[in-house]
Chain A
Amino acid sequence: MSRHKLGMAPVLLWLSLFLIIPMLIVAGISFLQRDALGQLVFSFSIEGYKTFFDPLYLGIYWDTIVLSVTTTVICLLISYPMAYYIANAPPRVQTWGLILITVPFWINFLIRTYAWILLLRTQGVVNTLLMEFGWIQEPLQLLYTPGAVLLGMVYNFIPFMVLPIYVALEQMDKRLLDAAYDLGASKWKAFRHITLNQSKSGIMTGCVLVYVSTTGMFVVTDILGGAKSAMISNIIQSQFLGARNWPFGAALSVIFVLTSLILILLFNRAMQARYLKVKEGGA
């Protein structure tokens, strides 16, 4: 037992040095004041938190949540069939499927995002092809639109969804399905009560990973959205740099972390409640 604890020491040290202490510093800064040059003034203030409840910033936060939830749902809808297919394929196909999904990660995230510009811009691949085929006369404005932002987000985060679901599906006890069929369950019923239920942990992990990554992402909105919208992470960044308002930026960060945690907990609750209901219904 004590040896076990000793083994945990590096992890705890790492977490406290690089996660907990920095977060506490941010939380501390959020209660400070600033002067006109952006220097921190060491006296207590909740001005940063007050500013957040301005309709402007509440609205920006709402936009961010809507975009993140939309991205998560689309990722889930695309990734589940993908993961399902890979998990049920022969081992060779499985390996290749996983490699194909992870290969894009060999390339830097920014480069992958810039590559979309080449595809989507007015003189880009998509527009050129469509005009070649004579389907459109004028190039379509694909880039710098909310659609392009959503596309970039979904594209970048699909692996985060596929991999956890794949692991869950692969580890599922497939004998349960046989049992369900033997008891006369339809294909859909068996899928709903067994496969879907058993892969719940994967769905959960995938959704949390995608949601959290999306809310913190501002590069995609800048590059593919033409910086025409403001996400909460853009605002946080600008408070620490251009606007020289660290207490407000820190307050936003604290609120951001807390609301994400609450949303994840609620989501977790909902998933568990569903699971219990299914169990009761089945009994």
Chain B
Amino acid sequence: MKKSVWTRLLLAGLLTTVAALSLAGCGSDKETLHIYSWADNFDPDVLKDFEKQYDVKVTYDNYANNEDLLAKIKAGGSGYDLIQPSDYMVKTMIDLDLLEPIDMNNIPNFENISETFKNPEFDPGNQYSIIYTSGVTGIAYNKKYVKEDIKSWDDLWNPAYEGKVLLLDDNREMIGMALKKQGKSNSTTDEAEIKGAEEELKTLLPNVLAFDTDNIKQKMIQEEGWIATVWSGDASFIAKDNPDVAYVVPQEGATIFSDNYAIPKGSKNKELAEKFMNYMMDPEVSAKNYEFIGYSNPNTKAMDFHTEEYRSDTMINLTDEELGRTEWLKDVGEALQTYDRSWNELKSGR
């Protein structure tokens, strides 16, 4: 009798076990560029073109947030040649001495980049990084349900949207948003100001449907949420699937962010990484790549090669007036613990 139990369990167990054997790729003598970046951040065809043109191989691994990236690079021996940290993370990585200086002599196409995005405050003189794409955290709303003219962060607090507001599941972004609403800096280190922003957010909770970063797009497309804090590039993505969705950079100002090229210390193919950056900044290549990823292109020379649809997309191409109202998130050092605590208090309702 005992035996039969185990036979049956084993049978069920065997049926549930799916063994996947992955064979390691065959060896090759070709030079290989190891990229570590966000998912879907390149047009795969463009990567293939680069492989062909320079007779090299490109590998492309993904991370979901800057902190994962930092943990991996800090641990060392990752073997990556090119990474794409966001603005504040570039600064952190420079401070931690994790980045290799970029040799601009190898990147003549750098001159194609818009002056607006050169020489950023998180990396003066572009010693360690070059802008890849940027956007602004603004408000996306569905005109089917939201009839008011949305202009201000204050609109999220409108009782008419009870249980229909979506927020990014990101402590700095959301506390930063509340700070902006109160006319403060999104990177304040003043404990009272952070606390004040937390109290402000607590009064928003009855309106909040969910906190989400990765799937906020789907939740807006499916019309689960009516109004949300959304990155401009994501707003463009949402609007393509759901034309009722509009986007605005609120009048109080908003957080601007960028993803940047950088080379981690310990890269074995630094020159190849620079060659790749230069290739990606070629106007024609650049246009092809950004058409695919649907994010803003800082390459001024590439505009001629972009489609009319891309050029007229106001969520991808923000105006100078809109950009003028934005502020970068800065590393807040020890105050990060206050932000974290406030966020935990907010989430746990205490």
Contacts and interface: CB of A to CB of B under 8 A. Distances in A.
Interface of A: 36-37, 39, 55-57, 59-60, 63, 91, 94-95, 98-99, 101-103, 105-106, 121-123, 141, 143-144, 163, 167, 170-171, 222, 226-230, 234-235, 238-245
A241 B65 contact: yes
Contact of B169 (A94, A144, A227, A241): A227
A243 B337 contact: yes
Contacts of B71: 240-241
B95 interface: yes
A239 B96 CA distance: 18
Contact of B347 (A39, A144, A229, A239): A229
Per DSSP, chain B at the interface is helix
B347 A37 contact: no
B211 A227 contact: yes
Contact of A56 (B68, B224, B333, B344): B344
Interface string B2-44: 1011001101110110100000000000000000000000000
A273 B4 CA distance: 32
Contacts of B9: 98, 163, 167
Given A106-B16, A243-B336, A98 B222 contact: no
B210 A95 contact: no
A242 B333 contact: no
B56 interface: no
B16 A170 contact: no
Nearest to A224: B210
B209 interface: yes
Nearest to B12: A98
A99 B333 contact: no
A240 B65 CA distance: 13
Contacts of A234: 347
A228 B347 contact: yes
Contacts of B211: 226-228
B147 interface: no
Contacts of A235: 344
A113 to B, nearest CB: 12
Contacts of A141: 163
B95 A91 contact: no
B271 interface: no
B350 A56 contact: yes
Identify the interface centre among B65, B211, B333: most chain A CB within 10 Å of its CB.
Answer: B211
7 contacts: A36-B336, A60-B344, A103-B15, A121-B222, A230-B348, A240-B71, A244-B336
Given A95-B12, A141-B163, A144-B210, 15 more contacts: A56-B348, A63-B348, A91-B8, A99-B11, A99-B15, A103-B16, A121-B222, A143-B210, A226-B212, A227-B210, A227-B212, A228-B208, A228-B211, A229-B349, A242-B171
A226 B209 contact: yes
Contacts of A227: 169, 210-212, 347
Secondary structure of the A contact surface, majority rule: helix
Interface string B139-168: 000000000000000000000000100000
Contacts of A102: 12-13, 15-16
A273 B223 CA distance: 55
Nearest to A240: B71
B212 A36 contact: no
Given A141-B163, A144-B209, A123 B15 contact: no
A239 B340 CA distance: 9
A229 B348 contact: yes
B67 interface: yes
B350 A123 contact: no
Residue of A36, A56, A123 contacting most chain B CB atoms (<10 Å) = A36
B169 A222 contact: yes
B16 A36 contact: no
Contacts of A57: 344
Nearest to B18: A106
Contacts of B163: 141
A230 B5 contact: no
A250 to B, nearest CB: 14
Interface string B204-227: 000011111000000000111000
A162 B96 CA distance: 50
A167 B5 contact: yes
A91 B333 contact: no
Most A C-beta atoms less than 10 A away, residue of B92, B163, B340 = B340
Contacts of B67: 241-242, 244
B202 interface: no
A237 to B, nearest CB: 10
